[in-house]
Chain A
């Protein structure tokens, strides 16, 4: 099916875009005025999920099983009583940052990643808290907040071949792998670099901004990291730095991978670390077609002066030759030629937090 539906989560609500010929147009909007921290399309059952970050009333979850016509509030995950971030600091749900279907063997289940670092799995009536990850011996001393007050799980990757096999990406801690459906977890940060630590090659304490796997070869993993772009071809056993030493493809938050080609990915570069604006105040999207050996930057249709946009980690998506990204200043751009040329969908949204295709 053609990808004709795009969900756009912004600081002021959810917009549902439909493809009308070559143009994306707003079909309707939902949750007007409320920040949407994350949006997700569950391809296993067609459900749309939205996490809302009410400033006053806490995080809320909403689900639609009829393509956004009707929504129901689903009770949000709760940290079990007595769960402590550290001594004297009880854990409570602060932010919902990731969704993932639980794999082909569990079509009705979903994982949710949260700040302050808890992973939850739906059980039909609510959510189970993953105690093994929370009790990982590295958490107390080596997980920290980065951008947010406490560590957050922003990436959940389930192996499409094996539902027992999953990864989570945590800022700031790194990558963890489970091969027994979350009963135990192994650190997978070998080859990453954490320039902000006294020991940049520490086992834990890395800052993967987003983790993805290649649909065409799930053993190929990609991450846009705080300290560059990294790729693994051995299911996370080790990582190679594929940043462009001479070009803009280096720091950033977002990454998208091609659904057919394990060597193709896109990133949205920004200036690290303090200023956080587009590189040279000019917006570009970089693409590699050779597994990160080389990068091309594409700028046609994107602003090249006085541009302060950056792209948040969940705000760049790709499927086939269709690539879309949203920015912190409310711009939404789309490409139908694999990112080589761009057209503005709109310049007037609120800050864009997250996107997903919903077909």
Chain B
């Protein structure tokens, strides 16, 4: 199970937001399962093509994912996944 953590900015839309455990092999699988705990959240993270939104970052442990189009980066057991907003505007 990977531990998935969220930027505080998402609490505006999901007030009860808390880290969750998800069984998955890739980041894509994690994002697609987010809606089970937080309905509609995947639309905040990726666009309709499944590509990571321009100003969102996902890290596996301390490494930013490389595949922003398909989110095919692997996630190992007991790894930490961080869904963050990118800094923009200074």
Contacts and interface: CB of A to CB of B under 8 A. Distances in A.
A79 B47 CA distance: 10
A76 B53 CA distance: 15
A161 interface: no
Interface in B1-39: 9-10, 13
A78 B48 contact: yes
Given A56-B9, A58-B43, A75-B40, A81 B55 contact: no
A90 interface: yes
A57 B53 contact: yes
Nearest to A32: B12
Interface string B35-71: 0000010011101110101011000000000000000
A2 to B, nearest CB: 36
Identify which of B43, B48, B55 gathers the most chain A CB atoms within 10 Å of its CB: B48
Given A73-B40, A75-B40, A58 B85 contact: no
A110 interface: no
Contacts of A147: none
For the complex, would chain A's binding face be called helix, strand, loop or mixed by DSSP majority?
A: loop
Contacts of B49: 79, 81, 90, 92
Given A75-B43, A76-B43, A55 B48 contact: no
B42 to A, nearest CB: 11
B68 to A, nearest CB: 13
A56 B56 contact: yes
A276 B86 CA distance: 31
For the complex, would chain B's binding face be called helix, strand, loop or mixed by DSSP majority?
A: loop
A185 B51 CA distance: 31
A354 B73 CA distance: 41
A282 interface: no
Contacts of B43: 58, 75-76
A55 B88 contact: yes
Contacts of B45: 57
Contacts of A54: 44
B55 A55 contact: yes
Nearest to A90: B49
A90 B40 CA distance: 22
A92 B47 CA distance: 7
Interface string A57-81: 1100000000000000101101101
Given A75-B40, A75-B43, A56 B48 contact: no
A92 B40 contact: no
A58 B54 CA distance: 9
Contact of B53 (A56, A75, A78, A81): A56
14 contacts: A55-B88, A56-B53, A56-B56, A57-B10, A57-B13, A57-B44, A58-B44, A73-B40, A75-B40, A76-B43, A79-B49, A92-B47, A92-B49, A93-B47
Given A56-B9, A73-B40, A81-B49, 11 more contacts: A56-B53, A56-B56, A56-B85, A58-B44, A58-B53, A75-B43, A79-B49, A81-B48, A90-B49, A92-B47, A92-B48
State the 9 A-B residue pairs at the shortest beta-carbon distance, nearest first.
Answer: A78-B48, A57-B44, A92-B47, A56-B55, A56-B85, A90-B49, A92-B48, A92-B49, A79-B48
